[in-house]
Amino acid sequence: MNNTVINVIEKDYITQCETKIISNNNIIPHENEIKNCKSNLFKSFLRRIVDNMDSTVEKSISNGKKPFLKKALDVLNLEDTSMRNIIFNEKRTSRAMYRFLYEYYLEISHQNERIQKGSKMDFLKAVETFWNLKDFKFQYSRFKNVYNMAERYKNKNINGNDESNDEESEISKFCKALVKINDTITFSEFMIIDIRNMGFFKTNFQDLTNFVQQKNNGPTLYQFNEGMNKFIKYYQICTNNSDDNIVNAIIFYSYKFGLVSFVDDEKKIKHFSNGIYLRNSSAITKYVVFIGTLPIYDNINLNEVLKVWFLLNIICPKLRIYEPFNDYYQLFLELGGSLYLVKNNFSKCNRISGIVEIINKQLSENI
């Protein structure tokens, strides 16, 4: 079938589809499948997907980003299976979807889960269940190929001799440099002395985090997000409202538990700062990730800034976090069920663990 015919078909059927992005707002996961499935990994993946797939998709395609991914999502809504398969299997469309699935798989899974037999298959089945794709199956071989090719790129000669270091991927080299950094001054020097380092760091931030989380056991973004969700939910229960503003929640926790609010003016940063500060300019309030006195990332949405700050600390595992930020780092991760709660040989704070117990008890009573 030539491209002209395909374009006509796409225009007709995508119009009929009316760009209904798949959402769990109108799809209920199959409880019987969850109950009857013997795979605990499938159940675990599905629960995580229910929690954050919609927001991940929305973020990926917002403002016209990744048009071929949006097209693939639209196509999966088509009722005409033959037309759906023709359009979906168009090279750039299917490639965008499998690339998205690969990145999402890394985001919600842990290394020790990815090495389990059947992990990738359970993940694909969980996605199909969530999206209610009763007569459509993702190609396991295609997903596996995308996964293996991406991993080969990231791990090129990672286990080779030192003599072959010049052939390592740039991502691998950059991560090896960052993993050695244990203080903010060294981090700032690394980024400033060669300005290309900062550009590479910002441009390839997602690939860097994917690489590190795939290679190492440690906390995951899913666990951090889960912890933030519980953090907000407890605040809402205690204040009897639906406010999901994390700034207000932080203020609430500072009064209830004596936690120090970290929403402070950027003028108060120090040379050893590893955290988030407030920037007010032209009536616009932004939150900024600072490492030392070096600004790394800013946004008006504190939730997004928190995620970047967390991922940065995953990329730089030896970079120390001091109060009050280390308290929130442990709080979010412990609420999210992570076993990796502190960095760089710091001791776990029992006071924070006590707060986690109070929160979990209240949340369990309100189910």
Residue 93 domain-assigned (yes or no): yes
Orientation angle between helical segments 170-179 and 140-154, nearest 10 degrees: 60
At 217 the pLDDT is 67
Q: Which of 115, 135, 153 is the last residue of a domain?
A: 153
Angle subtended at Cα 215 by Cα 313 and Cα 341, rounded to the nearest 5 degrees: 40
Length of the chain: 367
Residue 361: the pLDDT is 92
Interstrand relation of 294-299 and 264-265 (parallel, antiparallel or unpaired)? unpaired
Residue 309 lies inside a defined structural domain of this protein: yes
Q: Of 93, 123, 153, which closes a domain?
A: 153
What span, in angstroms and rounded, lies between the C-alpha atoms of 313 and 47?
26
Residue 198 resides in a domain: no
Residue identified by tokens 């994390």 is: 246
Distances (CA, A) of 107 to 126, 144, 192, 237, 269: 15, 16, 30, 29, 31
Q: Which is it for the CA torsion 348, 305, 218, 361, positive or negative?
A: positive
The answer to whether residue 298 is domain-embedded is yes
Same domain, 149 and 226: no
**pTM for the full predicted model:** 0.60
Max CA separation in the chain (angstroms): 67
Same domain membership, residue 227 and residue 138: no
Q: Distances in Å between the alpha carbon of 51 and those of 23, 44, 55, 229?
A: 11, 11, 9, 10
Q: Are residues 46 and 144 in the same domain?
A: yes
Whether 288 contacts 305, CB under 8 Å: yes
**Is 212 within a domain?**
no
Residues 148 and 227 in one domain: no
Domain assignment present for residue 207? The answer is no
Closest among 119, 96, 120, 100 to 56, alpha carbons compared: 100
Q: Provide the residue-wise pLDDT of the chain in tens; the chain has 367 residues.
A: 444 333 433 444 344 443 344 444 444 444 555 455 557 889 889 999 998 888 888 888 887 778 888 888 888 888 777 677 777 877 778 888 999 999 999 988 888 888 888 899 999 999 999 998 878 888 888 888 888 888 777 665 445 444 334 334 788 889 889 989 989 999 999 998 888 888 889 888 888 887 887 776 678 888 888 889 999 999 999 999 888 889 899 999 999 998 888 777 888 888 888 999 988 877 788 999 999 999 999 999 998 899 999 999 988 888 988 888 989 999 999 898 887 777 765 678 889 999 999 999 999 887 6
Q: Same domain for 133 and 268? A: no
| Segments forming the whole domain that contains residue 87 | 3-153
Count how many domains the chain has. 2
Q: Any idea which residue has 């990145």 for tokens? A: 103
Identify whether 250 is part of a domain: yes
The neighbouring-strand residues paired with 354 are none
Out of 99, 120, 153, a domain closes at 153
Cα 175 versus chain centre, distance: 18
Tokens of 199: 């550009």
Is residue 255 domain-resident? Answer: yes
